[in-house]
């Protein structure tokens, strides 16, 4: 009885070992198969990622080209904007003294009453003053024809906000040809609202300032 019992125990042990060997082998095959499948999937994912990276790289190149084109367009737009702004900032005037001949007195503003040009509306023919509509570099010129008697003196100054920046003079001339013309040109920087006018600063003796026929004029324009 004891021998049979041990034989059964041994048989049961053999069956148990066999069962576990079968299960373990199957598990290994399952794991191996699963690993192979996962490896294939990972490989496919790697390929997909590489393809996506390649496509993204191509898109980056296209985006850079588009950005370059946009940069050129921005430059063109800025240039056009600057040109339009420059056209809007056009300032130029030309005014002449007309009417009867002027007998100047010291401190008097010369009012150039006839306008040939007034782009930007900076010159005011009612009081002879130019008011800068924009900040910038301006060029001004003025000329005067005067009839002089003996021992005469007349000075015409270009004034900027009350300070002289230009100077014409007719002094003590008695030459037998008593008409003389003088001109002056000035470059100056102005702020918006600065004022320029022509003023008699000295007037001694019998002097007449000629009017009409562009004998006496005042002009200016914005350079930049």
Q: How many CB atoms lie within 10 A of CB 156?
A: 27
- pLDDT score for 140: 97
Alpha helices in the chain (DSSP H): 2-88
> For residue 110, which of 120, 101, 122 has the smallest C-alpha distance?
101
Please report, in tens digits, the pLDDT of each residue of the chain (224 residues total).
Answer: 555 555 555 555 555 655 555 545 555 555 555 566 666 777 777 777 777 777 777 777 777 878 888 877 777 787 776 666 656 679 999 999 997 777 888 899 999 999 999 999 999 999 999 999 999 999 999 999 888 777 778 889 999 999 999 988 887 655 555 667 789 999 999 999 999 999 998 888 878 888 888 889 999 999 98
How high is the pLDDT of residue 134? 94
Burial of 83 (0-12, 13-18, 19+ CB in 10 A): exposed
Structural domain spans, the chain: 1-88, 92-222
Q: What is the DSSP letter of 97?
A: -
Range 92-222: architecture per CATH: Sandwich (2.60)
- Is the C-alpha dihedral spanning 190, 191, 193, 194 positive or negative? negative
Single pTM value for the model: 0.61
């Amino acid at each position: 009885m004891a021998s049979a019992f041990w034989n059964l125990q041994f048989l049961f042990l053999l069956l148990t070992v066999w069962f576990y060997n079968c299960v373990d082998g199957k598990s290994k095959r399952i794991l191996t198969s699963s690993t192979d499948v996962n490896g294939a999937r990972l490989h496919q994912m790697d390929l997909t990622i590489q393809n996506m990276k390649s496509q993204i790289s191509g898109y980056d190149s296209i985006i850079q080209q588009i950005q370059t084109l946009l940069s050129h367009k921005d430059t063109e737009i800025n240039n056009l904007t600057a040109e339009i702004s420059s056209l809007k900032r056009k300032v130029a005037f030309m005014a002449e003294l007309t009417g009867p001949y002027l007998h100047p007195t010291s401190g008097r503003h010369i009012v150039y009453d006839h306008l040939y040009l007034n782009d930007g509306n900076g010159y005011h023919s009612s009081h002879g003053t130019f008011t800068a509509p924009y900040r910038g570099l301006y060029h001004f010129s003025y000329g005067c024809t005067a009839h002089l008697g003996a021992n005469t003196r007349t000075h015409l100054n270009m004034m900027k906000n009350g300070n002289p920046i230009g100077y014409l003079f007719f002094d003590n001339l008695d030459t037998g040809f008593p008409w003389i013309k003088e001109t002056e040109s000035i470059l100056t920087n102005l702020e918006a609202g600065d004022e320029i006018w022509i003023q008699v600063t000295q007037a001694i003796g019998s002097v007449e300032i000629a009017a009409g026929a562009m004998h006496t004029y005042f002009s200016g324009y914005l350079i930049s």
